[in-house]
Structures are given as C-alpha cells and as structure tokens.
Chain A
Amino acid sequence: MNNTAYFPGCSLKAEAGDYERSAAAVMEALGQPLEELERWTCCGTVYSLTDDDLMHQMATVRNLIRAQECGAEEIVTLCSMCFNTLKRSKVFIEQDAARLETVNAFMDEEPDYEGDVEVVHLLEILRDQVGFESIEGRVTRPLSGLRVAPYYGCTLLRPREIGIDEPDTPTILQDFIRTLWATPVEFAFQAECCGTYQIVDAPELVLEKSHRILNSAMRAGAEIMITSCPLCMHNLRLAYEELRSSLPDKRELSIVYWTQLAAIALEVETGELPTSMGKLVEGLPTTMELVP
C-alpha cells in the first residue's frame, strides 16, 4: 500500500489512541506501515444529508486534496465514521461535474480536486490487498476458544453503495475473527445502531439501545466484542459499566477494537486492554510454547 495515505481523524489522536497504536503495530508487523496524511483536518464526523448545500462537503474534499498533493491513490481510515463521511462525500461530489466545479471554485486557495482519490477502510485493505490468509500465517498466538462478537454498527455497512460488506448479512468481521483462530459469535443486533451522537442530549436513549446490543451478544455466549467505531466504543463501554452491576452472574464482556484483537494474535503492541481481556489472553499459549 505504497500509495495509501492514512487518515486518523480526531478520535484516533484522543480517546481512541489504543485503536491507532494497535493498528500501527499490526500494519508494521505485516510489512505495510501506516503513513499518516500530512495536514489532515476533521472530516466533519457525519455526512451531510442535504442536497442543496455544498458547504458541508468542503472539509472532506480538502482532505482528498491533501491526499492528491502527496501522490496518494487512496485514503485509508480506521474510524468507521470518518470512512463513511469521506467516502459518501467523495461519491456525492464526483457524481456531478457541476458540484465538483463549484467546490473547486470556492476553495480558490487550494489546488483543484481532480476526483480520483479512493477512500477505503483498513479492513478492506486487509481483506482485499493483504489477504486474510496471509495474516493467518503470521499469527503466533492463536486465539483458540475465544468467543468474539463482531459488532459492525452502521457506518461501515450503510448505505449499500459505499459499505464494505453486504449491509444485512455482513461476514467480513466473522472472517477476520476466524483468521485469528477465534470463534465468531453471531448475534441479532450486530449491525443495529448504538445510539451514536444522541449520547450528548439523550443519553438514556443510547444506553437503552446499547444495552440491547450487549445483552444480545452476551446471551449468544460472547466474551469479547470487537468494533471499529470510536463512538460505538464509547457508548458500548459506558452502557456495559452500567449493565455490569445488574448482571446476575459473573459474566464479563471485554469490548475492544478489532485491531487490538489482531495485535494480541500477532503479539505486537495492543494498547490498553480491559482487565477482563487481559485475563482471557493470559491463558492462551503462543506457538513458541506449543513447540516441544
């Protein structure tokens, strides 16, 4: 991925630092280190859904121009929301020459955006360029026996035109979990919304939706849940803390980023893991220990 620029976005430099650290370590181990886009700015977080307003597309196009300037063919993101916003905005601007022309004319201090920078998610790079099978070959600590719930959320999958997998029946995270020798746990709410930004002014709504997701995964037998969205992570962990005190038994669920799971299996920097996750991993032998 020589011509790929890594777009972090705000969360990866703040509360989702563990996501970035683990992803960087995994990509380093796979021989394709992440190269950060220079002078990147906020993507806008949510895609603007109005048709009459180009102003809310400016932030994304500016980042596409940054990629174009350094000769990158594609922007790769870790954050699901950045992925969604950048890719939808790119499609919206590029599908109509007049829109592209207006945006370019407005940003007269910038070089024109030519319209040929792709936006991809890191999971797509691993599936389509690196190949899950080649990751499997590098696993030194197989996660055998760990039951992992893949939580997709919304923005990786919808709308269909930009999603990284089939919106109603996605399999990419399950395949990824198997690559690390763990067991995927199917559950009903794997692509339902956690409540997202409503946490700001309607937290009770978010807690209810997130509890439903967590309960569904735990009832299906999950001990770990993975996600790729820093906002889902915030909401799910908050909801889990609340839920935990009311759980009748000692069941625990460790919620981690998908790259942290990979980092454990490849034995590289994982970032901070929940205590419960540490306990699960301690018991796993490495392949070195398996050799007599």
Chain B
Amino acid sequence: MSALMELEHFAGFRERVEMLSGENVFACYQCGMCTAGCSFADEMDVLPHQVIRQLQLNNWKVLESNAKWICASCLNCQTRCPKGVDLSKLMEAMRQIYLRQQLDQVEITQLSADQIRCLPQIALVASFRKKTG
C-alpha cells in the first residue's frame, strides 16, 4: 500500500482515471441508476454512483474502497446509464492503478492444489486478468 500513498500528493488522480478509462466523469449527474441495478452494490463499501461522485471531486481516497474489486464488469450499469457513462471502465482504471504497481489481489502461488484442480481455466484466466498485474 505504501506506493499508493504517494497518490495523496497526486493532484492528477481524476485525469489519470479518465485517461486510463477514456471516460468523462463529469457526464454523470448522479441519478443513481447504476447503483439501483448493480448486482453487487450490497457488497460495496462505497456505492457505484458514489464512486463516480468521489472521482468528480478528485478524491483519491476512493481508491481504497473495495468497490473496484467487487465489480465484475457485468455491465448492467453501462447498459442503463442515461448519460452513457461506462462505470465498468472507471472501475477497471482504478484496478489498473493498483495492478500496474504490482499490487496483485490474487496471489497465484497461494492457490491450493484443490483450487487449481477444481476451478475451470476460464475462471483462473479471467481472475488473473482482472486481479493481477
């Protein structure tokens, strides 16, 4: 986490997320449709529409929310957003800020032999793509 703390002094946090995602966070007018339709919102400590609000405010602390790891890019929010904001890309951008600093969320070497035997490769490859750098 120490590398991430440097972001406290990183004034360009919002710009970085926008550059990684290609999205304009100010297009969002906080209607909450994304949160209403999110299958995983009940697991998130910061709700999907609140994540975008914190991005608008350039609050880098939103990076510490678990939302980006819970989001599975199911795209319910993207399909239903009246302003065309693709929240799945913003979540991916926040994941990438971690993963590009080698802050992996899934430790391949920690998976048990049982897990590796029982999990289909489609799950393993997808998980490694989403949660390791």
Give the interface of A toward B (CB within 8 A). 9-11, 14-16, 42, 44-46, 48-52, 56, 79, 81, 154, 157-160, 167-168, 192-193, 195-202, 205, 209, 230-231, 234
Contacts and interface: CB of A to CB of B under 8 A. Distances in A.
Given A201-B106, A205-B40, A230-B120, A193 B74 contact: yes
Given A50-B89, A52-B20, A197-B72, 10 more contacts: A44-B125, A49-B91, A50-B20, A154-B75, A197-B124, A200-B106, A205-B40, A205-B70, A230-B122, A231-B123
A46 B126 contact: yes
B interface, size bucket: 35 or more
A8 to B, nearest CB: 12
For chain B, what secondary structure do more than half of its interface residues adopt (helix, strand, loop), or is it mixed?
helix
B121 A154 contact: no
Given A52-B19, A158-B78, A201-B106, A196 B120 contact: no
Interface of B: 19-22, 39-40, 43, 70, 72-76, 78-80, 86, 88-89, 91-93, 96, 105-106, 111, 115, 119-127, 129-131
Contacts of A79: 122
B119 A199 contact: yes
Contacts of A196: 72, 74, 123, 126
A247 to B, nearest CB: 23
A231 B127 CA distance: 12
A49 B73 contact: yes
A285 to B, nearest CB: 36
Nearest to A81: B122
B20 A51 contact: yes
Contacts of A157: 79
B73 to A, nearest CB: 7
